[in-house]
Amino acid sequence: MITVLLILLILVLLLLAVGYAAFFVACVRMPVDPDPRKSKFLKAFSEKIIAGADWFKAQGPERVQIRSDDGLLLTGYFLPVKNAKGTLVLVHGYRSSPFTDYGYSVGYYASLGWNILAVCQRSHAESEGQYITYGIKERFDIRDWTLYLADRFGPDHKIALIGISMGSATVLMSLGTELPPNVKCAIADCGYTSPYEEFVHVLRRRRLPRRPTLDIANLYARLFAGFGFKDYSTVEALRHNHLPVLFVHGEKDKLVPIRFTVENYAACTAEKRLVTVPEAGHGTSYVFATETCQTALREFLETYAS
């Protein structure tokens, strides 16, 4: 009897350890090397990304900061342009930075006549935070950044949101918050629907059991980070959204499969457009189909944010 109880105890402790490991790897802030040459998604385009990031930094963008609802100091970089049409808010992805994810495209965005606000998501780069919540809490940070811009430039200053990967999910979830009227539209590149669904996909790809690993990891997330994997979703936000959305996704994306964007697109009750890139993997639609994405983005902004 004692032997059986001991085995059960060891099994429980092992499951708790595995669940904690999953939570730690997924959600706890870690030092990240922003060099795109070390990214399996961006390595082939690293030189252009670095050149674009260097160009952005050379313009001398203003380092700006706001305080989140839960007390974190969040950092962004603001680049004004002459006679700006408004401001594009660029939101980067998981364990990345705005300079990595938008180095390839930021010059084009600025050429369209929009100010650029490249934000560092909580628990990333220069923003404070210990835990990544996959858009659950970050959505309110994006709301607060738009409120900052509305307060700084006034009620007539137009704002458009652009997100990639986790940044895309963050942007879409923010559409379910009380954004100021300044926000005119959103662009979502290769986002998932919810942390839970993305984790299920990742575990299946690695042939790891969803249960009880994910359930235990969720308990740790609730205990330490104050959120649950099913607390919110892009689908829920989009069902109540009234702002136009441009969806972009690479058809060869294995990390965040295109079915997530298809589901988001179907859930969106507002004006919407969809661009898919057959040859692109995760986060690389713009680099594989630059002209197509530039045209789609320019026409979308001209239609809904001009």
Residue 258 reports pLDDT greater than 80: yes
Q: How many CB atoms lie within 10 A of CB 183?
A: 23
Q: Which CATH architecture has domain 39-194+232-304?
A: 3-Layer(aba) Sandwich (3.40)
- Which token pair is 251? 């058809």
Please report which helix (H) or strand (E) contains residue 87, including its range.
strand 86-91
pLDDT of residue 37: 67
pLDDT of residue 208: 81
Pairing of strands 183-189, 245-250: parallel
**What confidence tens digit (pLDDT) does each residue in 115-165 have?**
999 999 999 999 999 999 999 999 999 999 999 999 999 999 999 999 999
Task: Please report which confidence band the pLDDT of residue 1 belongs to, taking 50, 70 and 90 as the band edges.
Answer: low
* Alpha-carbon gap, residue 30 to 21, rounded angstroms: 14
**What confidence tens digit (pLDDT) does each residue in 211-220 have?**
888 999 999 9
> Domain segments of the chain: what residues?
1-28+210-229, 39-194+232-304
pTM: 0.94
- Cα separations (Å) of 174 from 83, 157, 183? 27, 19, 11
DSSP codes of every residue in 125-182: TTS--SB--TTTTHHHHHHHHHHHHHHHH-TT-EEEEEEETHHHHHHHHHTTS---TT
* Alpha-carbon gap, residue 90 to 238, rounded angstroms: 19
Handedness of CA 273, 275, 281, 284 (dihedral sign): negative
Q: Which residues pair with residue 64 across a beta bridge? A: 76
On average, the pLDDT of the chain sits at: 93
> 160 with 184: CB under 8 angstroms?
yes
pLDDT of residue 271: 97
* Alpha-carbon gap, residue 283 to 97, rounded angstroms: 13
- Cα separations (Å) of 220 from 19, 34, 70? 8, 28, 19
> 266 with 239: CB under 8 angstroms?
no
pLDDT of residue 259: 98
